[in-house]
Chains A and B, each alone.
Chain A
Amino acid sequence: MAVIAAPVAVQPARRRIWTSETAWGAAFVAPYLVLFATLVVWPVAYGLWLGASPSAFATLFADPIYLESAWNTAVFLALGINIKLFLALLLSGYLAQTRPWIRWLSVLFLLPWAVPSIPTIFSFRWMLNSEWGMLNGLLWELFGIEGPWWLIDPTLAFGSVIFVHVWKYLPFWTLILLAGRMAIPTDLYEAATIDGATPLQKFFYVTWPHLKNLYVTSTLLSTIWSLGDFNSVYLLTGGGPAEKTHVLATLGIRYAFNLHQVDVGVACVMTALPFLVPLVAVLVRRLGGGAR
């Protein structure tokens, strides 16, 4: 190779290509940067400015509805996410089997995820109607039981919200964990079988060590998305009865648009930042690392 001659000959050419490529690159990335500046940076900055008033936070912390909603949000996340992901972990193992009828089942199993959320939430809402809904109608016809007040009792109403959330997002996470399981080399299982491992041992010594990282990432990601799940709450209970089933996402909208206290609304969702920011930081590291 002409090691000595090469730099002299190539250098100018490389420089020229580099600069013209940078110009092209700048042009290619420009639309996104414009979008980012006008529709992300500016709204975020404006939001932070709106929420920077101490009086808004004073109003907020004096409001018992806020405290209740913050608690609700914590319960929603703790129960909703863990139930959802634990079920997804179990079901991904079930659906990973290769029998034909389980394949068909896994196609049907995607329905809650494939069907838009608004129709199914409305369907739940009427099904759970304690006077006219199908669920209590069936309870009465089959067992002669006077069904509970699903969406009128605050605890049951919030339980229903969590149920609907789990119902909607379970297929998605099952799919993710299923893909994770498929990536585990099958000879590990064969080796474990030869060594006489029970199914439970196979899970703890083969499956779980491979799936742990993905499970944790999924939990973190799901936490962020669930924090922003507006539909499951707003369209099922509307925050009612008596504003007892709000979460931060719906309460913020209520302050800003029903009560016309925009600064309090922004402050309301901003109180999630001390929780949200570290989570996002961890996730950017975890997900961004994969891109390189």
Chain B
Amino acid sequence: MTPATSLARAPAIKSARTYALRRGLAETGQIVVGVLVLIWVLLPIYHMVMLSLTPINEAFGGRFWPDHPTLENFRTVFTQDHFFLERFWIQLANSVIVALSTMALVLVVATLASFAIGRLRIPGGSVISNLALLTYLIPMAFLAIPFYRVMSQYGLLNTRTALVLAMATFATPYAIWVLRQYSENVPFELDEAAKVDGASPWQIFWLVYLPLLRPALIAIGTYALLLAWNEYLYAFLLLSTADQHTIPLTMGYFLVTDDSPWPLLMATAIVYALPPAALYYAVRKYMVTGLTAGATKS
């Protein structure tokens, strides 16, 4: 907007023309920024798709688009028709099992704990709450070495259980934190009313607390699921035999030689990346709510 003072000084027509010019420039600037953002976002993803459609013997061309695009790589992945992909389906199943188990464990443990802290107001609740927050702030990679040793003490090395426990350890504190933030908006009067009607704490938890927390449950469930699905380091350390591996490890093993079939790796990568990306977009609105529940407050 042009300030009123300069409007009075300049002739009206000139001001209108500058205004139009400035608007045009601003509009062009907007579009340029938009195109740059689009290139920035899409280039690595385009490259992944392009390479997955490239015949293996054309991969070394450094081309923008393959001469003979093909879906052959996806056939190879789905039929496990390559040394690196011999156990693709088992390993995909492992990824699914680990992700779903982590989600279930986190949902159960975190909802129960947050109910006890926020609603039943157990003594020491705020200490537990802060300890959980503290855990959330430990970088996962920093705890990997002792965690590996501890899992070996528990006799859980090379089991999917170990990976599930590791992921739940890091996802639960965040889940508790989000639930605590979110449940503040659920009025206590509901609990009181249920209590007057003779409901037990379990009934209040199951019939009042959980249904009202649905959006937060979707957010933290997805968070736990994706955290486990995406994990590389802990999977790499905790799972040693190929039958226990998850897909990130399948992909990691392509790097053991320099002349790996990269188009196959990228085809695997796309098969692996599609479900979580689709899930993320499906529940996008909940994720934003969950993530910003506390962040915007401070």
Contacts and interface: CB of A to CB of B under 8 A. Distances in A.
The A interface is mostly helix, strand or loop, or mixed, namely: helix
Contact of A126 (B47, B166, B251, B295): B47
Q: Give the secondary structure class of B's interface.
A: helix
A24 B201 contact: yes
B284 interface: yes
Contact of A217 (B131, B255, B298): B298
A253 B142 CA distance: 9
A127 B44 contact: yes
B84 interface: no
Interface residues of B, number: 108
B266 interface: yes
Contacts of B138: 40, 44, 280
B37 interface: yes
A61 interface: no
A124 B44 contact: yes
Nearest to B249: A118
Contact of B296 (A180, A229, A230, A292): A180
Contact of A123 (B1, B45, B135): B45
Contacts of A50: 145-146, 149
B34 interface: yes
B117 interface: yes
Interface size class on chain A is: 35 or more
A46 B180 CA distance: 30
Contacts of B294: 287, 290-291
A109 B232 contact: no
Contacts of B110: 32
Given A109-B41, A115-B45, A122 B230 contact: no
Interface of A: 17, 21-22, 24-26, 28-29, 31-33, 35-36, 38-40, 42-44, 46-47, 50, 91, 94, 97, 101-102, 105, 107-120, 122-124, 126-127, 129, 131-134, 136-138, 140-141, 167, 172, 175-176, 179-180, 183, 193, 196, 213-214, 217-218, 224-225, 227-231, 234-235, 238, 249-250, 252-253, 256-257, 262, 265-266, 269, 272, 276, 280, 283-284, 286-292
Given A29-B125, A253-B141, 6 more contacts: A29-B116, A39-B150, A101-B34, A110-B281, A266-B145, A288-B130
Closest 5 CB pairs of A and B: A228-B139, A137-B62, A47-B146, A119-B269, A25-B122
